[in-house]
Amino acid sequence: MAGPLTGVTVLDLSRILSGPYASQLLADMGAAVIKIERPGGSGDEMRAYGPPFLKDQQNNDTTESAFYMSANRNKQAICVDISTGRGQEIIRGLATKSDVFLENFKVGDLRRYGLDYASIAEINPRVIYCSITGFGQTGPFASQPGQDLMIQALSGVMSLTGEDGGHPLRVGMAYGDVMAGMTAAYAIIGALYHRDARGGVGQWIDISILDSTVTSLSHRAMAYLQSGDQPERLGNRTAAAFPAQDFDCADGKIILQASQDEHFRRFCSAIGRESWAEDKRYQRRRDRFRNRREIVGTIQEILLTKTMQEWLTIFGEAKVMCAPINDLQHAFDHPQVKHRQLVVEVPHQLAGTARILRNPVRMSATPLDQYAAPPLMGEHTDRILSERLGMEAEAIEDLRRAGVVA
């Protein structure tokens, strides 16, 4: 069944994570994504960003890193040297037939190749041209390079992450890059709707990793803007809510969330402290949070009397939110994760098969249920040039001999 973006073509000159993550989301929805990489070397730098690497059928490392595999499913790949005139003509030719042009080069970098927004819009006024950079197209830092680690530091994310009194910590994955990729995909879909459903025009979308990360701070940012106070690092606790944190059991830790008033009443009953639910100090969420230190020690003592599984069973029956702190093995083994089929197995030229993540979106009329492995370098070069630009095999081979394509 066709996806919701079937018929949309995305020309993707991005690499590393933020751009490829955005185009992957569009590809999942049925868009035809053409991934452009440099001939020679490893192409997209993230192909070589390992270990770990995908294993072949003899259990040897392939050229495909887990990092690359995470952001490039459902795409077609072609290698084009955009520093050459003939390579630039190929990109322009593909751009005239594309709905979206996606790039994450430095500000102004594509102008020297005639592939900037103004140049592409001149040959395709309907194009949705999306640029992702560390700091955006304007401002005092616009020309500076910016990647996830430094953006997490600059944005304030690290100031909120870690234990109270401990060192600031980065989120344990490329949080800023993923946020920027999601923001870019959301913006592109909005621009396509404006153009196609509302009679609008093509436009240039300016996505900043810093912007995306700062605005993702959401309620923690609003707490600061309203109070002027720097929010403290909470570790596994939740701001303005109690109980909502980790506790030790007899054989390990669990996360417990019973901060809503009705949830707290059920929690009190489950641990044999019904009187707390009637105590004015704990009846309302805000009062309970202010007076949390009076009972947190007692809660911890009670939870130490049983194992994790015993408490998970008790709280499950009481409909109190509670979970073990899983590592990835246990997370992917969880029955709900398995039921939702968040991991899919797809054919792969080098590995035979490869396990990849699926898109989390569930749509009844246009299900996102078609998955292809991230492509090898230049896997679809001949197909793209012949089908989209009408090139004959001899002309493609001439370009290959000249190093323009691979």
From 228, 251, 248, 231, select the one nearest 240 (Cα to Cα).
231
235: left (phi over 0), alpha (psi -120 to 50) or beta: left
Nearest to 49 by CA among 39, 35, 63, 37: 63
d(CA 45, CA 17): 10
Instruction: Please give the structure tokens belonging to residue 29.
Output: 């929805």
Tokens of 238: 């939740």
Give dist(CA 75, CA 27) in Å, integer: 6
Report residue 45 as tokens: 């730098």
Of 81, 99, 148, 177, which one is the catalytic site residue? 177
Joined together, the tokens standing for residue 185 give 């995909």
Residues 6 or more apart whose Cβ sits within 8 Å of residue 259: 238, 241, 242, 243, 244, 285, 288, 289
Question: Which pair of structure tokens corresponds to residue 397?
Answer: 């081979």
- Name beta bridge partners: 346: 354
Cis ω on the peptide bond leading into residue 51 (within 30° of 0)? yes
Task: Evaluate the CA torsion angle 389, 392, 397, 398 in order and state its sign.
Answer: negative
Cα(216)–Cα(133) distance, rounded to whole angstroms? 17
Pairwise CA distance, residues 404 & 388, whole Å? 17
CA–CA separation, 217 vs 228, rounded Å? Answer: 15
229 flagged as catalytic: no
Pairing label, strands 343-348, 321-324: unpaired
Return the active site residues: 177
